[in-house]
Structure 1
Amino acid sequence: MEGKRRMIEVEMLKKDLDHQRIEELMSATFSKRRKEIVGDQPLIGDVMTRWPAMFCERQVRAEFKRIVSTDLLESFLNGLDDLVPRLLEVFEAVTKSGKKPALKAILDCVKKDNTNERRRTAALLGLPHYLSEDPSDIIRMCDAHGESLAAAMKGMQLGLLIGYEGDNQDAFPEVFDVAVVVEENIVLHNFKDVPSSFTMLLGIIYCVNLEYPRAMKYSFEFLQKVVMKIKPDEASARVHGVRNKLLRYKL
């Protein structure tokens, strides 16, 4: 097993990666990797050093499927698309009384540009506000050509760093690059939209056995149990209530 792990390190140093070979080696070393990650709970930097192949979109999806037997991207985006219309409607309803101004600002962005990607983004970024959670330490915006990455990531234990270009006047700007951050380390980047980066964030949480951040625990639980339908019967009363409200809601 250790020999195969070292072979992965060698493969990852090559200019032209042999993805099939890496896939076979990652599959063969799965039990060793899970024993290390779940049993020893190493720092993310140590995981990245020992298992460098895991920190690319292809292997995050593969590892997630090994753990959950579900296709990460397909399950997330299909489940999200089924709920986006009702989510945006309940968001709109709760803001009509003047409550949750941050949520209203997000909805205003969709009114300016009502594309499917923007609707998905609004649903994801609006969810913690709807659930009365504070996403500020988990979802951060930064000027791609302004502040340094170190400053932008300071204190981030887990989340998304959304880089934008130009003047940011909206609740969510045009995306330049999104990075997944763990323990102030960028573990994945070069995502050009929020939905796919959210998907990879969930994948990383599973791959390196992380707990959901307390400040957004209900939002992540909703994504897991309602959007992706993973262990839906174990939903908390709060998430179960939101799910029932969405099922009853008439568009």
Structure 2
Amino acid sequence: MDGLMETIVKYKVYLSDAEFNEVAEALITAHPCLKEPGSASGFGCWKTSLKYKLGNYRSKLRRLGCPEVTVNSLKQKPDDRRSPAYGVKKPKKAEVNYCPPYPAGESADSLEQMRVKLLSEVKIRNNEDKVAAMMDKTFAVRRLEVVQDAPMVADFKARWPGLFNVREVKAEFKRITTVELQSKFFSQLDAHSENLMKVFARKGGVLWKKIKAVMLPMTRAKCYINKFVKDYKSDDECIERDLAETVFGIYVIRHNVADPDDDPEDIGIVLEGVEVLSGLRNVPFAMAMFLGLVYALNISYPPELKYTFEALQKIIMEMQGNRLSAKVQTLKTLLAR
């Protein structure tokens, strides 16, 4: 059992009930002599033992200072909410490196000194490679800050300005998920966009007319992300006010909003009223960067867009694609026809 725990935590420290079932079933499959006689599944008691064993193993990891479990220790919780079950932070969006340990030979103090040095390094021209190396080395302390403290976007941008550019958003996404953001996003989007158009067309009736009216003036890729993309005319006086009030969205500034073929003057991303990225090439590219920022800042999917982002994560990016909600599973089935 100790060896099994060591193998499990190489992949995940927190398992779902379904995953405990899979491990217990695999155990009796590999060792039929362990199958429980008289049990419906043959592994019910093994599953319970696995849960207790993993809980004890997490306690050992916590004492050793493993960040992914220490972030959930009782001393990290509010005085009036110090129960083991309160506010447990764990991977929910297929993160591989959810809260990794510090690099060998580094401490919180040494990495904080590097963070402070980064504030001046990002202001130097043609210094992207050095900044990238320092950002890579400080990933663990930055990730712990995001997961543990959940800072406001404005505060986090002030502390880590080097993160808020296209190169580093893609790099951070890969550090967290091990998946290439841009290439995966566009290859899968291109593969699915034609079938998605056909799915919408089969709806027919009033719904199809509404969808068609929205989709006609857009490129194929944009049909996925129209819900939170806002168009502005370049001379609109309310742009700054609207962006300051935007919690979660992409803005597109055009000279002529009525003409969708008019090249945008600017495309950017706003989070909590803060412009975090600007000068993006097109809306689909902005959406890819948006997904990268959601992971980099450990942001939960907004309730009104949870199915949109679930489809992007599980169908487009193919991360945790075997665990779908009913709505997203229906879409995946339709796209496969």
Q: Which TM-score applies when normalising by structure 1? A: 0.85
CA–CA separation in structure 1 for the residues paired with 2:304 and 2:115: 35
Whether contact under 8 Å (1:178, 1:197) holds in the other structure is: yes
Q: Displacement, 1:13?
A: 1.7
The DSSP-based 3-state class of the residue aligned with 2:336 is helix
2:195 is aligned with 1:195? no
Q: Displacement, 1:124?
A: 3.6
Structure of larger gyration radius: 2
Counterpart position of 1:48: 157
2:229 is aligned with 1:139? yes
Q: Displacement, 1:106?
A: 2.5
Counterpart position of 1:129: none
Query: Which one of the candidate residues 124, 127, 130 is aligned to 1:18?
Result: 127
2:236 is aligned with 1:159? no
Give runs of aligned pairs for residues 200-219 of structure 1, distance below 5 A. Answer: 200-219=289-308
Q: Structure 1 residues 10 and 154 mapped into 2: Cα distance closer, same or farther (>3 Å)?
A: closer
Q: Displacement, 1:174?
A: 4.5
Counterpart position of 1:247: 336
Give the CA RMSD over aligned residues: 1.7
Residue-by-residue CA offset, 1:182-206 (whole Å, 9 max, x unaligned): 0011100111311100000001000
2:313 is aligned with 1:238? no
Moved over 4 A (4+): none
CA–CA separation in structure 2 for the residues paired with 1:27 and 1:149: 35
CA–CA separation in structure 2 for the residues paired with 1:17 and 1:149: 32
How many correspondences in the alignment?
227
CA–CA separation in structure 2 for the residues paired with 1:192 and 1:60: 15
Q: Which runs of 5+ in 1 are unaligned?
A: 111-117, 126-134
Counterpart position of 2:265: 176
Whether contact under 8 Å (1:222, 1:239) holds in the other structure is: yes
Amino acid corresponding to residue 230 of structure 2 in structure 1: R
2:206 is aligned with 1:98? yes
Q: Structure 1 residues 158 and 102 mapped into 2: Cα distance closer, same or farther (>3 Å)?
A: same
Indicate the structure with greater strand content: 1
Whether contact under 8 Å (1:81, 1:120) holds in the other structure is: yes
CA–CA separation in structure 2 for the residues paired with 1:102 and 1:63: 38
The DSSP-based 3-state class of the residue aligned with 1:142 is strand
Q: Displacement, 1:209?
A: 0.6
CA–CA separation in structure 2 for the residues paired with 1:92 and 1:192: 29
Counterpart position of 1:34: 143
Counterpart position of 1:220: 309
CA–CA separation in structure 2 for the residues paired with 1:158 and 1:124: 12
Whether contact under 8 Å (1:176, 1:192) holds in the other structure is: no
Residue-by-residue CA offset, 1:23-44 (whole Å, 9 max, x unaligned): 1101110110001011000000
Q: Displacement, 1:55?
A: 0.1
Counterpart position of 1:3: 113
Q: Structure 1 residues 167 and 42 mapped into 2: Cα distance closer, same or farther (>3 Å)?
A: closer
Q: Which TM-score applies when normalising by structure 2? A: 0.64
CA–CA separation in structure 2 for the residues paired with 1:149 and 1:12: 28
Amino acid corresponding to residue 35 of structure 1 in structure 2: L
Q: Structure 1 residues 167 and 71 mapped into 2: Cα distance closer, same or farther (>3 Å)?
A: closer
- Percent of residue pairs identical: 28
Whether contact under 8 Å (2:245, 2:273) holds in the other structure is: yes
2:184 is aligned with 1:72? no
Q: Displacement, 1:173?
A: 6.2
Whether contact under 8 Å (1:92, 1:107) holds in the other structure is: no
CA–CA separation in structure 2 for the residues paired with 1:156 and 1:141: 13
Q: Displacement, 1:101?
A: 4.1
